[in-house]
Structure 1
Amino acid sequence: MAAAYTLYAKPGFAATTIERLCTEARISNRAFYECFGGREELLQALHERCVDETIAAVSKALQEAPQELDERIRAGISSYIGFATADWRRARIMHVEVRRSGDVLTASRQRAIESFARMVEDVTDSFPDPAPVNRHLLALGVIGALQELLIEWVLAEEPPSIEELVAAAVHIFHRSFANHVIT
């Protein structure tokens, strides 16, 4: 897993062979296949671990945040971005390599998006008025925007600062739920 964490982040999933993984991990191909059915299964396990750790970090931040809605929004977004960017490999695997892997991680990626969408919906559940559009779709849109901001951070020659990412994501969230959030 440690070798895949580094190699799947760079040079990337497509460029990482089982032989290279095994050499880096100092294990035999046979030992690899005793644990995983292939490099796709390893990528899925790694992606799910990254997602689970991120969900735990965001959940903790939301629990510890003041109950004011604005503070909870900022805490959740700051935690997500901060945790994802604390290790560039995590950000790259979760937001770049997951897409480059093709259909390999479609189901895993959808489960992750649904988990994060539920978190957004839970935070926005306390809004006094129903959303003017489907709240689940708004949550998906906010998540998509957040993912694109992190892709920019991973791939840009001069990445934006974490503070800029948080400010942009909070702004997008506020504008998406404008009928409910007072800035």
Structure 2
Amino acid sequence: MSAEERLAERRERLISAAYNLYSDPGFPETTIERLCAAARISNRAFYECFSGRNELMRAVHDRCVHETLQSVAKSIEQAPDTLATRVEAGISGYINFVTEDRRRARIMHLEVRRAGDCLVSSRQLAVTAFTAMIEMNVADLPEAVKANRHLLALGMIGAIQELLIEWVLADDPPSTESMISTAVHIFYRSFTG
């Protein structure tokens, strides 16, 4: 392996270790030493890959968001071209993909907040991307609703985030089906007046 390939391989091992550890026990509880032990690399090698835990958390979060955006876009693309089917496909695509792996749900909706300031810009980029996706798919709403489309999209994102935080933290989590039907209901009540 070349030096560049070894570095890339170490980065992937660290991202994999962080994906596990940042979701359980969580970002605040995960030390660099623990990450290095899980990835089977030295502390020195860690700093060749990342400047610290915060940069590694951004890499993990950004990958989760990127994969989710791709999955949701594919779900919407495969749905029949009506507002109702695009909405349901987008919401169910998001909730199903995020809950498919509890670690992804926890990182994207709980640990992103626990990480604090280091993820503010990364989180905002994610919200912007999902807002744009919603706005693009509701472009054919009646004119009266279009004026509030951006704020409604932000509100929809907030509602889904709270549903997923409940799913991550609850002793008896709601089913994905009930979260999807609730989110679809909120969407229609919000976007169609």
TMscore range, shorter length? over 0.9
Q: How many residues align?
A: 179
Instruction: Give the counterpart of 2:143 among 89, 107, 129.
Output: 129
- AA paired with 1:37? S
Cα distance in 2 for partners of 1:6, 1:57 equals: 21
Q: Which residue of 2 aligns with 1:106?
A: 120
Matches within 5 A, 1:30-49: 30-49=44-63
Cα distance in 2 for partners of 1:171, 1:128 equals: 18
| Structure 1 residue 126, shift from structure 2 partner | 1.5
- Pairing 1:175–2:183 present: no
After superposition, give the CA deviation of every residue in 1:65-99 in whole Å (9 maximum; x if it has no partner).
00121111000000000000000000000000000
Q: Which residue of 1 aligns with 2:10?
A: none
Q: Which residue of 1 aligns with 2:93?
A: 79
Question: 8 Å contact 2:50–2:56 — kept in the other structure?
Answer: yes
User: What is the Cα-based RMSD across aligned positions, in Å?
Assistant: 0.9
* TM-score normalized with structure 1 length: 0.96
Cα distance in 2 for partners of 1:177, 1:14 equals: 38
Cα distance in 2 for partners of 1:127, 1:136 equals: 13
Cα distance in 2 for partners of 1:71, 1:135 equals: 18
* TM-score normalized with structure 2 length: 0.91
- Pairing 1:69–2:83 present: yes
Cα distance in 1 for partners of 2:31, 2:100 equals: 26
Cα distance in 1 for partners of 2:144, 2:31 equals: 50
Q: Which residue of 2 aligns with 1:95?
A: 109
| Structure 1 residue 132, shift from structure 2 partner | 6.4
Determine what percentage of the aligned residue pairs are the same residue: 60
Cα distance in 1 for partners of 2:79, 2:144 equals: 23
Taking structure 1 as reference, are residues 56 and 132 closer, same or farther at Cα in structure 2, changes over 3 Å only?
A: closer
After superposition, give the CA deviation of every residue in 1:12-63 in whole Å (9 maximum; x if it has no partner).
0000000000001110011111000000000000000000000000001111
Cα distance in 2 for partners of 1:89, 1:130 equals: 40
Cα distance in 1 for partners of 2:150, 2:49 equals: 37
Q: Which residue of 2 aligns with 1:166?
A: 180
After superposition, give the CA deviation of every residue in 1:119-173 in whole Å (9 maximum; x if it has no partner).
1100111223241652101100000000000000000000000100100110110
Structure with higher RCO (Cα < 8 A, 6+ apart): 1
Cα distance in 1 for partners of 2:36, 2:148 equals: 47
Cα distance in 2 for partners of 1:148, 1:22 equals: 32
Cα distance in 2 for partners of 1:72, 1:122 equals: 11
In structure 1, stretches of 5+ residues that fail to align are none
In structure 2, stretches of 5+ residues that fail to align are 1-14
Question: 8 Å contact 2:135–2:149 — kept in the other structure?
Answer: yes
